[in-house]
Structure 1
Amino acid sequence: MSSAAWHARISCGRETGAGFLVTERHVLTCAHVVARSGTEEVRVRFGPGVPDGHDGDGLPAKVVAHGGWDGRDTDPGDVAVLELDRAVGVEPARFAPPADAYGDPPRRLLAYGFPKRYEEGTLAEYRATADQLIAGEWVQLEAWAAHGQPLVPGFSGAAVTLADTGRVVGMVSAAARDPQIRNGRMLPAHVMARYWPRLGELIPTPEYGRAEKERLRELVQGRGPEFEGRPECSPERLYSDAVGPFGPPLPARRFGSLWDAAWYLLSEVPDTGAAARFAARLADFVEDAPARGALRSWPSRPHDRLPRPPLPGPPAAHRPTADRQPWSPILVEIAPSGSGDHHFLVEVSAYTGRHRRVVGSRALPADRVRGYALQRIDEAYHELEPEARELIAFVLPRRWLNTDVAHWQRSADDDSPLGSFAPLVVMDLERRRSGGLQHKLLQKWQRLDAQPAARLHRIGCGAVGQDPVRLTIGLRRGADMVGFAAPPRAGGTRRLFQASLNAAVPVMFWPRSGCRGDHRGAAHEDCAGAAFLDRLAEHLAGLPPSELPSHIHELREAAYASDASEPHWAYDLALLWEDPRCLPDPVGYLHSPVG
């Protein structure tokens, strides 16, 4: 059968136009060709050898999708999708990549229409003036030569094909009113896909194939009502997050839907990773957990799970043994959002080697931070390899460092503390963002790797009158770990706590409750803080600092499981532990919605 058999003649009442078969039962044409379909029958006739209806006037069809064309020449969306009452034995048209319609020299384009007195159809030769969209919708066509068939009524809905390959690049939508002006308009194929999303699966786009685009469309379509009235997940906001601050600007027109934005990223943005970042960012606002996981893992191709290079480890003599792999952190960063004292930006990421994948990032009121963080921590485990050593690391504002994150209920179905589930540490947000302190921390860890034992500096309850600046300078030279007898709540202890952070001490301990630490001078009798430091020093003897998260996890498990009448001494133990080598600046974000 001729390769031109997919060209179709469309009749609707007294109107005649063209169309083309794109699936075994679907035909594309202009909406104005079938404008009377509500009262007049639509019939489709293909080339020779294709069985027609019983009366020889073509196959009956119905309009199943419409671009929203409103009747005026300048109205957008002049697209209609017809569904035949049965499949036909014709191979559908095949599409070219969007950019193939243009070139220097220009590409010769053909349109197959059905003007008056050409019952069997005729060809017109044209070319695209430029790839610039007029009104965000059309491309101007101009005649290939000064003679030959012009675009006239009967060409509306005709496929515009590349003369050398026969691949479709668009559809004729209008011709000049003046017959002396031999030009017209073409709706490019990728513009038509805005109005009928299934078409996007048929149009070649860089990087992603038909099955991947179909899956993305299924995941994205229908999510619009779920997000209505929420500016943080509008199509425009998600697009901006996907392309980043230096990516292509928003198009002049507004996106009509989430899929419209996703398709724009697939078809018109050179960065092939932008669509995946869009899907990952959209996932963060989807309440259904399976759909959220599917969006975040799109496109789920095998090469996405290739082994990643491990982090650079410590010197050979101090590398972990075979059963102690490098840490694979799940990072939970909670930072002020800039929207007031009680709103925070929460970002949860999973590190695999030197690669970081953002699992979720949301601006939330304080009362929603815990639930969101716990849910995303659980999902971050999908990013870790089975043999990975998980480490949950909370990066908190300084005033939140005493928060009981280790005691948070792990999930709605599991009442056990998060600190009993996996090694858990906290880090200081301000220090994590300081280049100078991160550099000092790296130097500290290099020295620790070369030392047989780490030095613990004790700060008891009676030290609250100590000068913070002198403490900072002293700790930079003479301490690897600091233990506090009291939590950083009272003013004096808070100042010494900050001094220790500024000294780039990599490991700090304190009890979250107990003595307030506001006693000056000599230690007071029966101080729980002093007893805490004694037990802590005894427990830390001989332990390598790089393995402390694991040892403290075991200690917490024992404390949580203890059935003694008095609380275990480590029940409220807090651990600040920071090794920048475990959380490097990533060399690449995989499907990250931010970065």
Structure 2
Amino acid sequence: MNNPLGKLTELAAACLVRIGTSLREAHDEGGSGVWIAPGVVLTCAHVVRGGLATDVEVGWGAHILRGRVTDHTPNESVTDLWSYPDLAVIEVADAPSHPCAWLTETPPIEQLTAFGHAASLGDGLKPLSVIGRCGGTYFFGSGQFAKFSGNEVVPGMSGGPVLDLQQGAVCGIMSSTLGEGADRGGYLVPVSALRCLGQRRRRDLLNAHDRFHGANPEWTDIRAQMPPSMLLSSPVKPAEEVELLALLAQLDAPEPDELLSFVALNSATGRLPDPPAGCLRDVVCSLLDSVDSASGEVLALLRLIHELIGSAPRTEHVGLYHWATAFAAQHHRLPDLRRLRTEPARSSVPPGGTVSVEIAYGAAQVDRFRLAVSVHPARQAARLIYQDKEPVHRLNDLMQIVSDQLRTALTLLGGNAQVEFVVPIELFDVPFDDLQPLHRFTTLGRKFRVVLRDYDRQSNPLVRYDWERRWNHARSTSWRSHWITCTDNLSADEFSAELEQHADTALVALGRRPSSARHVRELLQVALESGVPVAVWRRDACAEHDREAADSDCSGARFLTSVRPVLDETAIDELPETVRQLRNRAVGQSPSPADVSCQCTVLLYDKPARMTYQTASVREPSFESLESDR
């Protein structure tokens, strides 16, 4: 009788090993482990407490083998529970031919079977299995354990595999018990915890795992016999999945930026994997998770394979080429595959686009900020890659998150990008262009076209008409600029009246940064509310006027004198690139005095044609202290 669940349970049990220091003499001591690749055992760190390079014995069937601990995660807990991830890897030299468990990083779903060893009958540790279910999760230390409920888990089971029957795969290894002599269960370490071993080590382990199953289809054949209703819904059959992953495991490892690009170019929704893809296997899983229809998954995989090997595959890619052809035929997508293979090669120069970083603060907590990061490719739909629901970050913490997200966003655009910071006027002098998300020898503002945009203006309909009128005038004809020196005594009313008389004014230049004095900020605010789309200033202080020294030849004046001829000769569309080059010339070898004066140039470049996400209100209700009425 065909019983795939019974066969799968037997095969998982055959992957179980016993681990100890002297298995023949200490019959009641030791723990468990599981074969995950040829000669490779996965177990818990607390089972091999000696740590790295410890020699242990591995018992499998009638064999007692010698192994050495090659990976071991430390314990940072002061309790009896070893801290997450509690993982160790043992390599066994000259291991006999043995089966390997099929692993999945998908969290456990419901019905589970745990394997291990127990000495309950007083005859030493013997293999056993117990049936249970997933009972939720438990955060401990830096990660999350899954809970095994509904049956007793004893200490000798630590390190043994836990089989998820709905997925037909091992989803983790048992870590600890919640109490002997009862059905309280225990905690298991999910397979996803392999990421804690490091990206390269995890990739090597999974590649060895995938190559084994590509050559040994026993586990795959059993999964293929399981009723479709028992497995997670996917158009990719078990045999197709295993063959694809085995072929991908033969290829050289792409760089992290390449992996991210594969996801970005082929994902139907633009959702990025979290945590980021560490190998091609992760890219496949991400693509399968990111679409909501079988046809979308099929096409996403075909696009990925085409991106990897092209229309004329090299020798090492022939297997993938044939896999894609058979897969497309099986799912009636051969016309789509032919179209992919006849399309012209993608340009070696990425089309680029814009990265938008939106930062807003809360009125009730003025020291906390909310962040949203979106990518706007030149010829594709925009995608939101990060978003806070509430203002939760302090500014210093926020800058680190921004830097991390920028690396992802810039990778999606192939490094050809303009970066815009959409922020309220209170943040205009924050040195966003000095961030270093990519390299320590250059800054964001020197590598990319970095500009500011006014957050509050995005949602103000009263400004819209003037804003678009000034921008369109600057694009079509010559445009006017207004230069405000440090000694300018122009009032806000006078400046507003002047701007109303000159609809062609598209740029305002300031000799001092907006935060240096209240009247400077007021003049900039007038310009923004009058629809002026471009403003420029020097973020460094005007030393002479910040200390209230009357000096007409101040650093602010020198900045305006130096930058004016450059900007007067630049078309409005070229301003971001011109300012980027100003920043580079200022720190280059033997810069001129004029170049030095333009160091730390800030460009507000607010193009009205593309509105930002504005996914939440700009401000929370204002905070009123209960003490105010007393």
Q: Scaled by the length of structure 1, what TM-score is found? A: 0.49
Greater radius of gyration (CA): 1
Asked which structure has the greater RCO (Cα within 8 Å, sep 6+), the reply is 1
Structure with greater proportional helix content: 2
Q: Scaled by the length of structure 2, what TM-score is found? A: 0.47
